[in-house]
Amino acid sequence: MLSACVAFIRGVMVAVMTVATVITPFSKKTQAKITRSDEKCKAAFAAISDTHLKDNFIRTGMLEFGLRDMSKAKDRLDAVVFNGDITDRGDVENWQAFTDTLLKYDISDNNIMVLGNHDTWGGDRTPEYTKKTFIEFSKKATGRDIKNVYFTADIKGCPVIVLGSEGDHTYATISKKQIDWFAKEMKKASKTGLPIFVFCHQSFNGTHGLPYNWELKKDDDPDTGGIGDASDEILGIVKKYKNVFFISGHIHAGLTAENSRTFYSSVEKYDGYTLVNVPCYEYPDVKRGGHIANGTGYVFEVYDNEVLLRARNFATGTWLEKYDISVQLCK
C-alpha cells in the first residue's frame, strides 16, 4: 500500500515537472540562447544523460525540446555528449527512435554516444548484441566509426575517453583488456597538457551520495549504484594524472550548488581530478538529491586556466546559474 502511494506521488511529481517543462518555453523572458560566457573560451560542449528514449512521443518530444535548443545556439557547440541510458531498453526500436529524433536537428559536428546499463538490456541481452547494435547506431546517429563500446574521441584537441560496460548488469562490467586500454589512453592523453574528459555512465563507487541515494537504504552495499568491481582500479589510473574530469550519469539525481550541504553533490573536486554527475535528463526520480527537472544538463566551457560547468535546462532553454561551478586547472 505504501509503495503504491509512493509510486502515485512520484508519478504526479514527474507529470507536474513535465507540464512545467512544456509550458516554460512559451515564457520568453526566461529563455536565453546557448552562448559562450567569454570569448576566450577554447571549447564548449554539452553533456546530458539518461534520456531513456523509446518510441513514445513524451520521451522523444522532451528530447526534441533540448535538441532544438542546442541547434539554435548562438555560439555553436563543439560537441554534444549523450552520457548513457540513451535508450530505455537497448532494443533496435529504441535506438531507431533516438536516431530519428537526433537527426532532425543539427546540434554539433561532434556528437558522442556513451553506453549505459539500460542500453545493454535489448535484443537477446548478450554483449555481442549490445556491441553490434551500439556500433551500428553510433554510426547511424552520429556518423562516428567505433570498433567497441569503449573508444576515444576529442573535442577541439582535448582528449575524450569513453568507457563502456561489456556486460548487462546495473553496474559496469569493465574487462581487464578495457582497463589496460584505459591506462594506455590516459597516458597518451596526458601528453596533450589539456584537460582530459572521461565519460562513463556509472560513477565511482561511494561517490555522489552513493549508495544512500540509490535505493535509499542505509545498509546497502557500499558499491551499490557505482561502477562496481573495476571502480578502484579505474580511479587509481585517474589519480595518476591532472586535470581529469570523470563524467557520469546513472544516479538520476539533480544539480547541486558548490556550497550544497546535502549528502549528494553533483560535482566533487579532488586534487587533480573532478567528478561530475550529470543530472537525469528525462524521467527523473524525485528523491535522489539536487535540483531535479526534465531537460537538465551541463555546458562545459574550457579555458586556459579553468573549466566552467554551466548548468542548463535545455528543454526550457534557460541557464540555471546558481548551479554553475568553476574548476581551476592545475599547472
Contacts with Fe ion by CB under 5 A lie at 50, 85
Q: Which residue is nearest to Fe ion (CB)?
A: 85
In the complex with Fe ion, the residue whose CB is nearer, 86 or 112, is 86
- For residues 85 and 324, which CB has a smaller minimum distance to Fe ion in the complex? 85
Q: How far is CA 302 from the centre of its chain?
A: 17
Q: In what order do the strands lie in the sheet with 273-277?
A: 151-155, 158-162, 196-199, 244-248, 273-277, 267-269
Q: Which is nearer to Fe ion, 63 or 189 (CB)?
A: 63
Min dist CB 327 to Fe ion, Å, is 25
3-state secondary structure of 19: helix
Minimum distance, C-beta of residue 49 to Fe ion, in the bound complex (Å)? 7
Our CB check for Fe ion shows the closer of 50 and 185 to be 50
**CB 195 → Fe ion: shortest distance, Å?**
26
Closest to Fe ion by CB, 106 or 215: 215
Min dist. Cβ of residue 29 to Fe ion (A):
32
Residue 193: CB minimum distance to Fe ion, A: 34
CA distance 184 to 77: 29
Helices (runs of H) and strands (runs of E) counted in the chain: 7, 13
CA-CA distance, 29 to 48, in Å (whole number)? 24
CB neighbours of residue 169 within 10 Å: 12
* Shortest Å, Cβ 88 to Fe ion: 9
User: How many of the other CB atoms lie within 10 Å of CB of 6?
Assistant: 12
CB closer to Fe ion out of 282 and 301: 282
How many whole angstroms separate alpha carbon 265 and alpha carbon 270? 13
